[in-house]
Amino acid sequence: MKKQSITLILIAAIIIIGGAFFITSQNELQDTSQSQKKIGFIYIGPPGDHGWTYMHDQGRQYMESELGDSISTTFIENVPENADAVRAIRKLAESGHDLIFTTSFNYMDQTLEVAKDFPDVKFEHATGYKRADNVSTYSSRFYEGRTIIGHIAGKMTKSNTIGYIASFPIPEVIRGINSFYLAASKVNPDVNIKIIWAYTWYDPAKEADAANTLINQGADIIVQHTDTFAPCQAAEKAGVLAFGQASNQEQFCPNAHMTAIEDVWGPYYAERGKAIVDGSWSSIDTWGGMKEGHVVMSPYNKNILPEDIIAEAKAMEASIIDGSLHPFQGPIYNQAGELVIPAGSVADDGMLASMMFYVEGINDSVPQ
Amino acid sequence: MIKIVPRGNSSKSMFIFAPFLSVIFTLITASIIFFIMGYNPIEAIIIFFYSPISNLYGISELLVKATPLCLIAIGLSFCFKNNLYNIGAEGQLTMGAIFGGGIGIYFYDVSSFLILPAMIIAGAIGGALWAMIPAILKTKFNTNEILTSLMLAYVALLILDYLVVGPWRDPEGFNFPKTRGFGESGRMPVLYQGLRVHFGLIITLILVFISYFIYSKTIFGYQLKVSGYSPRAAKFAGYNKNYLIFSAFAISGAFAGIAGIGEVSGPIGLLYRDISPNYGFTAIIVCFLGRLDPLGIILASLVIALTYLGAEDAQLFLRIPAAVGFVFQGLVLFFLLGTDLLVNFKIKVKEKHGY
Amino acid sequence: MDTNLIIGIINIILIGTTPLIFAAIGELVVEKSGVLNLGLEGMMLVGAVSAFVTLVLTGNYFFALIISIVSGLLMSGFFAFLVLYLMANQVATGLALTIFGIGISSMIGKNYIGTPIEGMSPYFFIVISIIIVFLIGLFFKRTKMGLIVKAVGESHSSAHSLGFNVIKIRFLSILFGGSMSALAGFYMSICYAPMWQEGMIAGRGWIALALVVFATWKAERILLGAYIFGGVAIMQMNLQAFGIKLPGQFFNMLPYIVTILVLVIISGNKLRIKMSAPSCLSIPFNKNQ
């Protein structure tokens, strides 16, 4: 009797494991022909995360559809940001890839290390600042989108309290908070922003806790700079409003989702892929925004937003694209009341890239 | 009917044979899994287990990956032989990286041949100190070292996190959470130009040899084994139990610390959050797979290192999710623990009796 | 502070600590019987992913719950088979179970990441978790079976000579622990944050392990400990939202440091450790010896 039950458990385990592998087996093999240019991607997470990696993978697919048979693409997912990254990048370089995108900040030194050994292979590193003859860098001006959601939030909040879930205190996130707050306080001087640092990009339960805490403290709008759609779900459940992150997340929280700042990498990837195909690739630094189509607002939710606010948001998009509106238009003061950006000028890219201070009015301090 | 009966003495040959058996079982299971997934099992096995090491660079990468695993596992064997379950090597590795890395960051612009040795020694001290905490708590307060060492591993990771986000952040790094790079003098020299295999491998081999020497030729090694095998005998023989606990923890912590500094001063070159892909935990598998024996651990570290590399290749060439590597790591240990039965028991086939 | 704020905070703490309570109360029974299962994180992940995939495929919450618990029974049954019948080392087997669980859960869930589902209200399970804790408390205090489990964990050889089936009792305890871990996983992916993301348990299995120690192996104190652990994390967030920034890493360290302190306090006193920690924890039992 005892032995039978053990055998049963073992058989069941084997069936379950086998079934599990079967479920995952619907992947297609791909063949590569010689004339194609091979383009590889290194991902920090799984492509299905509906956040950062998902959007890079969307970009990859867009590039494939744009450039057709002239290229073929591969990717390696879940590559940790440590010594292993070098091997993964190198593997792509060795296996005949002509262009390699490394899509997370901490691949920076690893990308350069491999690039040194493969001068004929071209590399593109996302969000970094170190370049070489065969290494380009690229990033997006997500803060342009933050200024639009700031405007919407300033108009839409009734409690004048906005909850902001941040990941890590790095310039990109700080920049987003400032851009958001400047726009929100411009249309609503009474607006108060409450910030929680989750110290993670990726922990749905913790992100939900942070959202619920902010809602409990009176926030009626949740803004996030973490990667999963848990905060938006939490907002939906609590009946407050929210914005999506990185991709259009309306399907997960249709009654809370006002819009989202989408990271659209496709046009850039297609452009760079084309440059590889026709041999015109050179090392550049690209920091594209709305104008270049790298930052796109998801469709504004007509069930939530009044028409005039949608119109204003669209007008802001147009002004950002034609250059008449800059999120960091002086005069801007820091929390100590010092003038950091004088009237008549805008923040330069150097200041934006290393921004680690809050602007005047944010009732909080940057964590150290 | 099959019956399991105890052997009089444990089987020496089975003891050595079981790990190989478990690897073979894992390979068989792997091919079944690949077959179910719709791949040609032979091709998939070749890509998973052979293609990563089919050239010189691949072999060098295997050694890079195996170096920290082997070093930590050798250190852990000092604890495990004495039935001390130090499972916090991840924390000791992290502390080693912090102590040694601290020197590397502070002297980033100094060129001196003394810096690297100082970093390695500091790394060893950092790891050993962190390992001493569970040892002291065990000897003084009789706390369970499994739980304390595990808890301390998470504390160490958070300390590293605090340092790279806060006080040690690179002043020229646009405020990203990482430290500045170590200077040239703070980097492990590579053994062969163009490959990543570094001096840490030599250190590891030396320490493996020393460990082998300690186990086979010294009284201390003998005492460790005896007190692990039979605590009562050790007590009668008058061994100093606390001394054995302290030294086992100190050695394993120091080895893990050296592995940590080897990793950051070797392939990485600076400190940031994710310096180790759980080497400290994976090394526990390596240690058991290697039978707590220096030579066995070397082989086991190569096998486990291969599961990481194989998972990358399988993903790249076959689009098999990389998580399959973890599945194989778990399986190989399960099979080993299962086949271990054959060491102390034998399987007898008997005629089934009627009732 | 107004009462609504406090009620809200309590609500968030209750929602957040329930998976810890499920996993910890299961592990408590396992450890009481003298077995240490370090595979909590892996079992929770597998429980979470199997619940999620079942829900997506069938749309039925009940099936999802059943399959999730079956997955926990399978994982823990496998563990029990290795450590009880093959007398494998418990520490190594538990760690292998976690690593295996990380791998297999991300393989199973590969095509389901980011699939939208309708979440389930957590409140039913919050109540259940509290009831289970008290039932387990009563089980150990009032029932003969509970005393037997404790006796097996205290001294397996005496329990054996008294005629109790040590292996069977431990097997059942481990199965209970596995099903509770899976339930915690179910709660994570269906109620708490209704989605599947790789590694979404994010270390909660290890916190639950610490919680058992913190509770000094007493069922009711699991509740207390969980609310303290969860409370610290949520209070930290509340302080942040009020504009008080303390280094987040130190808050995250607190559960671990406090657990070590508790261990020191109870272990230092011979009588106290005898009253709480099972003496045979992680020592294998072989009736032939």
Residue C213: its chain B contacts at CB < 8 A?
144, 147
pLDDT tens-digit profile of A122-166? 999 998 889 999 999 999 999 999 999 999 999 999 999 999 999
Residue A45: its chain C contacts at CB < 8 A?
198
Which has the closest alpha carbon to A71: A268, A282, A273, A280? A273
Reported as a pLDDT band with limits 50, 70 and 90, residue C123 is very high
pLDDT tens-digit profile of C189-235? 999 999 999 889 988 999 999 899 889 899 999 999 999 888 888 98
CA distance A100 to chain C (A): 24
CA distances from A225 to A92, A184, A204, A260, C192 (A): 31, 16, 13, 11, 20
User: Which structure tokens are listed for C231?
Assistant: 């409370």
d(CA C237, CA A134): 44
> To which residue do tokens 């962190």 refer?
B130
Higher pLDDT, C22 or A45: C22
Residue C46: its chain A contacts at CB < 8 A?
none
Q: Is the dihedral of CA A80, A86, A92, A97 positive or negative?
A: positive
Which has the closest alpha carbon to A165: A206, A198, A201, A205? A198
User: Which structure tokens are listed for A180?
Assistant: 């958001």
Sequence-distant (6+) residues with CB within 8 A of A284 are A136
Whether residue A363 lies inside any domain: the answer is no
d(CA B103, CA B114): 11
- Indicate whether A122 and A174 sit together in one domain: no
- Indicate whether A226 and A243 sit together in one domain: yes
User: Which chain C residues in 45-84 lie under 8 Å from chain B, judged by CB atoms?
Assistant: 78, 82
Sequence-distant (6+) residues with CB within 8 A of C279 are C34, C153, C154, C155
Does the distance separating the beta carbons of A88 and B263 come in below 8 Å?
no
Question: Between B85, B329, B340, which is nearest C91 by CB?
Answer: B85
Does the distance separating the beta carbons of A233 and C119 come in below 8 Å?
yes
What is the set of domains in chain B, with CATH numbers?
A: 1-39+320-355 (no CATH), 63-319 (1.10.3470)
Tell me the three state secondary structure of residue B105.
helix
pLDDT tens-digit profile of A213-256? 999 999 999 999 998 899 999 999 999 999 998 889 999 999 99
Average pLDDT over all residues of chain A: 89
Averaged pLDDT for residues A306-318: 96
Tell me the three state secondary structure of residue C140.
helix
Chains that touch B (3 or more CB pairs under 8 A): A, C
- Indicate whether A179 and A209 sit together in one domain: yes
Whether residue A318 lies inside any domain: the answer is no
Reported as a pLDDT band with limits 50, 70 and 90, residue A182 is very high
Confidence at residue B352, expressed as pLDDT on a 0 to 100 scale: 53
- Indicate whether A165 and A245 sit together in one domain: yes
- Indicate whether A104 and A193 sit together in one domain: no
Residue A229: its chain C contacts at CB < 8 A?
114, 195
Which has the closest alpha carbon to C260: C207, C209, C226, C214? C214
Averaged pLDDT for residues C37-61: 96
A171/B contact by beta carbon, under 8 A: yes
Residue C92: its chain B contacts at CB < 8 A?
284-285, 288, 333, 337
Taking only the tens of pLDDT, chain B with its 355 residues reads 566 677 767 777 878 888 888 999 999 998 888 888 788 888 888 999 998 998 898 999 999 999 999 999 999 999 999 889 999 999 999 999 999 999 999 999 999 999 999 999 999 999 999 999 999 999 988 888 888 999 999 999 999 999 998 889 888 877 778 899 999 999 999 998 888 899 999 999 999 999 999 999 999 888 888 888 777 888 888 888 889 999 999 999 999 999 999 999 998 999 998 899 889 999 998 999 898 999 999 999 999 999 999 988 888 888 888 888 999 999 998 998 888 777 777 776 665 554 4
Helix axes C40-58, C3-32, angle to 10 degrees: 110
CA distance A320 to chain C (A): 31
> Which amino acid type is present at position B45?
I
pLDDT tens-digit profile of C68-84? 999 999 999 999 999 99
User: Which structure tokens are listed for B331?
Assistant: 């399986």
Does the distance separating the beta carbons of A233 and C107 come in below 8 Å?
no
d(CA A173, CA A195): 11
- Indicate whether A105 and A221 sit together in one domain: no
- Indicate whether A271 and A255 sit together in one domain: no
- Indicate whether A255 and A274 sit together in one domain: no
d(CA A357, CA B220): 58
CA distance C188 to chain A (A): 7
- Indicate whether A208 and A93 sit together in one domain: no
> Which amino acid type is present at position B90?
E
Does the distance separating the beta carbons of C198 and A45 come in below 8 Å?
yes
> Which amino acid type is present at position C271?
L
Whether residue A146 lies inside any domain: the answer is yes
CA-nearest residue of chain A to C113?
A48
Enclosing domain of residue A67:
37-140+265-288
The torsion region of residue C203 among left (phi > 0), alpha (psi -120 to 50) and beta comes to: left
Which has the closest alpha carbon to B280: C94, A78, C95? C95
Residue B159: its chain A contacts at CB < 8 A?
none
CATH number for A118 = 3.40.50.2300
Confidence at residue B354, expressed as pLDDT on a 0 to 100 scale: 45
CA distances from B303 to B27, B254, B298, B326, B347 (A): 12, 24, 9, 13, 28
pLDDT tens-digit profile of C140-174? 999 999 999 999 998 888 889 888 999 999 999 99
Average pLDDT over all residues of chain C: 90
User: Which structure tokens are listed for B273?
Assistant: 């959050």
A49/C contact by beta carbon, under 8 A: yes
Sequence-distant (6+) residues with CB within 8 A of A61 are A266
Binding-site residues on chain B for chain C (CB distance < 8 A): 6, 85, 87, 137, 140-144, 146-148, 150-152, 154-155, 158-159, 161-162, 165-166, 281-282, 284-285, 288, 321, 323-331, 333-334, 337-338, 340-341, 344
Which has the closest alpha carbon to A164: A217, A206, A205, A211? A211
Q: Is the dihedral of CA B140, B143, B146, B152 positive or negative?
A: negative
> To which residue do tokens 């037997």 refer?
C148
Confidence at residue C272, expressed as pLDDT on a 0 to 100 scale: 62
Reported as a pLDDT band with limits 50, 70 and 90, residue A7 is low
Whether residue A117 lies inside any domain: the answer is yes
Does the distance separating the beta carbons of A199 and C249 come in below 8 Å?
yes
d(CA C260, CA A107): 36
**Contact (CB, 8 A) for A44 and A79:** yes
> The sheet that has A192-197: what strands, in order across it?
A192-197, A161-166, A221-224, A241-246, A257-263, A295-297
d(CA C283, CA C83): 10
CA distances from B202 to A65, B113, B197 (A): 50, 17, 10
Kindly tell me the burial class for residue B172, based on how many C-beta atoms sit within 10 Å of its own C-beta (0-12, 13-18, 19 or more): exposed
Confidence at residue A8, expressed as pLDDT on a 0 to 100 scale: 54
Which has the closest alpha carbon to B306: B14, B73, B70? B70
d(CA A274, CA A281): 8
CA-nearest residue of chain A to B169?
A368
Does the distance separating the beta carbons of B147 and C213 come in below 8 Å?
yes
Q: Is the dihedral of CA A114, A44, A168, A294 positive or negative?
A: positive
C113/A contact by beta carbon, under 8 A: yes
Tell me the three state secondary structure of residue B272.
strand
pLDDT tens-digit profile of C225-262? 999 888 888 988 999 998 887 777 888 888 889 889 88
d(CA B174, CA A355): 8
d(CA B175, CA B170): 7
Residue A212: its chain C contacts at CB < 8 A?
8, 11-12, 15
Domain count, chain A: 2
For residue B6, the surrounding DSSP H or E stretch is strand B2-6
User: Which structure tokens are listed for C46?
Assistant: 């597998």
d(CA A234, CA A355): 30
Does the distance separating the beta carbons of B276 and A106 come in below 8 Å?
no
Whether residue A282 lies inside any domain: the answer is yes
Whether residue A362 lies inside any domain: the answer is no
Written in H, E and C, the secondary structure of chain A is: CHHHHHHHHHHHHHHHHHHHHHHCCCCCCCCCCCCCEEEEEECCCCCCCCCHHHHHHHHHHHHHHHHHHHEEEEEECCCCCCHHHHHHHHHHHHCCCCEEEECCHHHHHHHHHHHHHCCCCEEEEECCCCCECCEEEEEECHHHHHHHHHHHHHHHCCCCEEEEEECCCCHHHHHHHHHHHHHHHHHCCCCEEEEEECCCCCCHHHHHHHHHHHHHCCCCEEEECCCCCHHHHHHHHHCCEEEEEECCCHHHCCCCEEEEEEECCHHHHHHHHHHHHCCCCCCCEEEECCCCCCEEECCCCCCCCCHHHHHHHHHHHHHHHHCCCCCCECCEEECCCCEEECCCCECCHHHHHCCCCCECCCCCCCCC
- Indicate whether A256 and A269 sit together in one domain: no
User: Which chain B residues in 275-294 lie under 8 Å from chain A, judged by CB atoms?
Assistant: 275-277
Question: Between B154, B325, B333, which is nearest C96 by CB?
Answer: B333
> To which residue do tokens 């054959």 refer?
B342
Sequence-distant (6+) residues with CB within 8 A of C180 are C22, C23, C25, C26, C27, C29, C72, C132
C289/B contact by beta carbon, under 8 A: no
Whether residue A295 lies inside any domain: the answer is no
CA-nearest residue of chain A to B61?
A87
Q: Is the dihedral of CA B127, B128, B129, B134 positive or negative?
A: positive
Query: CB pairs below 8 Å between A and C: how many?
Result: 135
A356/B contact by beta carbon, under 8 A: yes
d(CA A160, CA A145): 21
B328/A contact by beta carbon, under 8 A: no
Averaged pLDDT for residues A51-72: 92
What torsion do the CA atoms of A103, A109, A110, A114 make, to the nearest 10 degrees?
110
Helix axes C40-58, C90-109, angle to 10 degrees: 30
Tell me the three state secondary structure of residue B198.
strand
Does the distance separating the beta carbons of B158 and C209 come in below 8 Å?
no
C258/B contact by beta carbon, under 8 A: no
CA-nearest residue of chain B to A75?
B316
CA distance B218 to chain C (A): 27
Confidence at residue C37, expressed as pLDDT on a 0 to 100 scale: 95
pLDDT at A291 over 60: yes
pLDDT at A10 over 90: no
Q: Give the residues across from A288 on adjacent strands.
A: A140
Asked whether the bond before A299 is cis by omega within 30 degrees of 0, the reply is no
CA-nearest residue of chain C to A202?
C200
CA distance B87 to chain A (A): 22
Whether residue A312 lies inside any domain: the answer is no
**Contact (CB, 8 A) for C27 and C79:** no
CA-nearest residue of chain C to B156?
C253
- Indicate whether A234 and A347 sit together in one domain: yes
- Indicate whether A81 and A123 sit together in one domain: yes
Residue C8: its chain A contacts at CB < 8 A?
212, 215-216
User: Which structure tokens are listed for B258?
Assistant: 């050296």
CA distance C242 to chain A (A): 7
A233/C contact by beta carbon, under 8 A: yes
> Which amino acid type is present at position C56?
V
